[in-house]
Amino acid sequence: MKLLLIPIILISFSLSAQDYSGHIIKLKNKGELFFNSFSQIGSFRKLRIRNHHFYKLTDNNLTKQDVERLASHPDVEYIEPDYYYDFVKPVEISWGREITEKNGFKKQWNLYNRGKKQRGRGLSYTEGKDISALKAWETTQGNNEVIIAVIDTGVDYDHPDLKENVWINEAEKNGEIGVDDDLNGYIDDVYGWDFAKNISDPIDNEWGHGTHVAGIIAASHNERGIKGVMNNAKIMALKIFNKKAEGEDRSPTSGIIESFYYAIENDVKVINASWGGGAYSKALEMALKDLAKNNIIFVTTAGNHKRNNDETPYYPGGYDSDNIVVVGAYDGDGAKSWYSGYGKEMVDVWAPGNDILSLYKRNPVGEFKYTEMSGTSMAAPHVAAILGLGHSIRPSLDYRAAIQVLMNTSKPEPKLNGLSRYGRADASSFLEGLGEL
């Protein structure tokens, strides 16, 4: 049986904060006096965040004077725009190929780079320029107790290469439909949550981007299609991007923040955030630091903008929180991918990003697909999965120790000298380094 490989490579999944949807307000307390004063100014919704008083204010015609009045109230810690983060339309490159159910791994140079050129495609590969997956698998292929959250466009949780490694909220799966069985503030959140539409089904949207990312992390080693960096893991689907009619995805900062705290409440070890860009948010930075307090590593991208991130901050990688790992993309020869952001201070490590074969969401007739995509979006999940392998053998691993070992065991790469803090992330060396702690 042959499986179609979708003839599209998505190059650019960077984001830009172009406008905003209302405001985020952080209160110092429950705000009884505040709401008495401003109940008529707009619609308030309390964000589902424990131990903090965050509200989303939806307003149509809030003036500068209104914002100043809100900010000066004694109950208000701060107020900021709830910026939208938009996907920039991807570049499409068309070439069609097919894979059989069993030959996908041969095309995964990112896991095992044989150094063979692909005839007719103008692509070059150097043997050994990969993440040393095969050697790492001699130590561990993962653990189903390790939960990795994919905050993205959703995940096709029924994909046959992924469904065994999908996180399931058993209380909701076995509970009553329409009831918040586990009392976590989310009704019927079996696979995660769609924060874009505020509904329970985080199924992937038209892009298929989140499913591709999830496959890189944890596609099952089931002799079908491809293999993930981890054979055993649990992928939590946290959807923040919603498809718009004009062809772009967008997410308000408030939805992103809520997804972080959902991860905190559900014992996530690593978050993969294959997106970036936009304006600085004090609330988002605080949420990232709360992830650190809960021993969660946040893996994100260096961006597809080709720029030096040392010169201009690229968020969320540019935030000041020591649990953030920023990943750039390299090609089959170990050189910086042409589109990848870089920075001697602001980019940490590198991972494969070009022509990465992974899963794709099912098509309208229900067929499950595979495709290649290129971008720093593809590089980041390699590192998220490597860290997941570490948690598989060291369940109580401290995030600071994990990140330091990841950096120290990365492979020096002359072609990347001066472009980042460290070299190419290496799964096998990372696991060996953990064994020496």
Residue 40 backbone dihedrals phi, psi, to 5 degrees: -100, 0
Neighbours of 53 (CB within 10 A): 18
**What is the distance between the alpha carbons of residues 302 and 347, in angstroms, rounded to a whole number?**
6
> Are 283 and 54 in contact, with CB atoms under 8 Å apart?
yes
Question: What is the spatial distance between Cα 382 and Cα 384, in angstroms, rounded to a whole number?
Answer: 6
Distance (Å, whole) CA 220 – CA 291:
28
How far is the C-alpha of 303 from the C-alpha of 253, rounded, in Å? 18
Beta bridge partners of 271: 149, 298
What values do phi and psi take at 16, rounded to 5?
-140, 140
Query: Which amino acid is present at 163?
Result: K
Q: Tell me the catalytic residues.
A: 152, 209, 377
Position of tokens 């065991």?
Answer: 409
**Can you give the length of the chain in residues?**
437
Angle at CA of residue 417, ends 416 and 422, nearest 5°? 85
- Alpha-carbon separation of residue 368 from 211, 214, 277, 362 (angstroms): 11, 14, 31, 4
Rounded to the nearest angstrom, the gap between the alpha carbon of residue 195 and the centroid of all alpha carbons in its chain is: 14
Instruction: Name the percent of the chain in helix, strand, coil, to the closest 5.
Output: 25, 25, 50
d(CA 34, CA 277): 33
Rounded to 5 degrees, φ, ψ at 411 are -90, 125
**The three-state (H, E, C) secondary structure of 184-223, written as one string:** CCCCCCCCEEECCCCECCCCCCCCCHHHHHHHHHHCCCCC
Reference 133, options 214, 216, 211, 212; nearest CA is 216
